[in-house]
């Protein structure tokens, strides 16, 4: 009986707390917009504003243009649902004189011009770069000011194509061809017998270089040439118990990273490469191998004259000094093992 009484009292409390809605609309309790829903509403508003701004330009620069202006809407720069997306004026400036139409039969050019199309001369490199860096600043472009490309009068549009759904310099397979436009000597190096697999599409120039600027020499991505090489060649990093000084100093002391006709990317063949540093006696009266009997070699206790021995053929120095990049063997002081 007590249990039934308690149940009836609880039911009365619940029924008393509920009252019929005044209208059907009041009965519908819509949840508040979530962050993603609110963003979609804002994006829709931004999209309309974006298109309204672009319409000032696209009313003339439509699909009949010789240059595919409207193809920018196939790129990240044309995603109107993203509030970060620029409008035409964001890059080309307000261009009020241009929008005013012909004056005495001539149309004023846009404020910022990224190429020589349309009979207008392109704007200066600094002006073009400033328009891009207004959005694309920081990260990999922190060191653009003062970089080799900036100092030589280049701007973003000299390498990048904005109004195209495919930017060749951002594609691994086509990027080298864009770089070779200026760096023709590197194209020749990459055609040599020993080269990095750039032509094969397994590497691109930007795997080693940061074209937007770097604190390292040669626009390397890492802090030094060696650190960049070690990104792939980690076995050469060390530290080693016995080190080879030119190796720890700079890989390019011995290697030409862009290509060589001597494998593996060596600047010249051994023993000639080694003798650029090791030009003194080598445990004999000559730089390598014993001399010919019958003549006194000045300054040594040996009798003979310079003679090329078997050590000067084949792999030369590397016949014995096989660990040329460094050794961790306790008996490897001469990089023998």
pLDDT in tens, the chain (337 residues): 444 444 444 444 333 434 334 433 333 343 444 444 445 556 667 678 878 889 999 999 999 888 889 999 999 998 888 888 899 999 999 999 999 999 998 999 999 999 887 778 999 999 999 999 999 987 778 899 999 999 999 999 999 999 999 999 999 999 999 999 999 999 999 999 999 999 999 999 999 999 999 999 999 999 999 999 999 999 999 999 999 999 999 999 999 999 999 999 999 998 889 888 887 655 444 444 444 444 454 555 545 445 444 455 555 788 889 999 999 999 999 999 8
Cis peptide before 264 (omega within 30 of 0): yes
Are 336 and 243 contained in the same domain? yes
Q: Please check whether residue 171 lies inside any domain of the structure.
A: no
Q: 72: which residues sit within 8 A by CB, 6+ positions away?
A: 78, 162, 163
Q: What's the structural domain count of the chain?
A: 2
217-226: list long-range contacts, CB under 8 Å, 24+ apart: 219/147, 219/148, 219/149, 224/250, 225/250, 225/251, 225/252, 226/250, 226/251
Q: Please check whether residue 43 lies inside any domain of the structure.
A: no
Q: Please check whether residue 147 lies inside any domain of the structure.
A: yes
Q: Please check whether residue 88 lies inside any domain of the structure.
A: yes
Q: What pLDDT is recorded for position 116?
A: 87
Q: What pLDDT is recorded for position 232?
A: 96
SS3 25: helix
Count of C-beta atoms within a 10 Å radius of residue 70: 16
Q: Please check whether residue 254 lies inside any domain of the structure.
A: yes
Q: Label residue 225 exposed, middle or buried (CB < 10 Å: 0-12, 13-18, 19+).
A: buried
Q: If you write DSSP's letter for every residue of 82-102 in order, what string do you get?
A: STT---HHHHH---HHHHT--
Tell me which of 163, 188, 221 is where a domain ends: 163
Tell me which of 144, 163, 182 is where a domain ends: 163
Q: What pLDDT is recorded for position 301?
A: 54
Tell me which of 135, 163, 191 is where a domain ends: 163
Domain residue limits at 290: 238-337
Q: Please check whether residue 113 lies inside any domain of the structure.
A: yes
Q: Please check whether residue 179 lies inside any domain of the structure.
A: no
Q: Which DSSP state fits 220?
A: B
Q: What pLDDT is recorded for position 257?
A: 96
Q: Please check whether residue 216 lies inside any domain of the structure.
A: no
SS3 246: helix
Task: Return d(Cα 49, Cα 72) in angstroms, integer.
Answer: 17
Are 149 and 242 contained in the same domain? no
Task: Return d(Cα 175, Cα 204) in angstroms, integer.
Answer: 7
Size of the chain, expressed as the number of residues it contains: 337
């Amino acid at each position: 009986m007590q249990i039934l009484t308690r149940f009836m009292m609880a039911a009365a409390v619940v029924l008393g707390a509920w009252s019929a809605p005044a209208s059907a609309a009041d009965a519908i309790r819509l949840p508040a917009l979530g962050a993603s829903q609110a963003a979609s509403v804002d994006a829709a508003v931004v999209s309309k504003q974006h298109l309204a701004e672009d319409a000032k330009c696209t009313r003339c620069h439509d699909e009949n243009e010789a240059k595919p202006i409207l193809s920018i809407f196939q790129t990240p720069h044309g995603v109107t649902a993203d509030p970060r997306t620029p409008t035409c004026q964001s890059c080309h400036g307000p261009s009020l004189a241009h929008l005013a139409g012909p004056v005495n039969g001539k149309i004023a050019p846009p404020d910022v011009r990224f190429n020589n199309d349309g009979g207008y001369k392109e704007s200066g490199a600094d002006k073009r770069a400033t328009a891009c860096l207004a959005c694309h600043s920081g990260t990999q472009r922190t060191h653009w000011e003062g970089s080799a490309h900036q100092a030589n009068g280049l701007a973003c549009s000299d390498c990048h194509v904005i109004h195209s759904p495919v930017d060749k310099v951002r594609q691994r397979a086509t990027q080298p061809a864009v770089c070779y436009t200026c760096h023709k000597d590197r194209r020749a190096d990459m055609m040599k017998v020993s080269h990095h697999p750039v032509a094969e599409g397994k590497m691109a120039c930007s795997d080693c270089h940061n074209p937007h600027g770097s604190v390292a020499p040669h626009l390397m991505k890492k802090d030094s040439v060696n650190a960049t090489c070690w990104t792939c060649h980690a076995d050469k990093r060390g530290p080693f118990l016995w080190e080879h000084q030119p190796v720890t100093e700079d890989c390019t002391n011995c290697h030409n990273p862009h290509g060589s006709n001597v494998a593996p990317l060596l600047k010249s063949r051994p023993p000639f490469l080694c003798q650029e540093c090791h030009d003194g006696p080598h445990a004999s009266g000559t730089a390598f191998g014993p001399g010919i009997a019958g003549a006194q070699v000045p300054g040594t206790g040996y009798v003979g004259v310079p003679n090329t021995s078997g050590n000067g053929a084949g792999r030369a120095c590397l016949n014995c000094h096989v660990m040329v990049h460094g050794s961790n063997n306790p008996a490897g002081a001469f990089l023998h093992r």
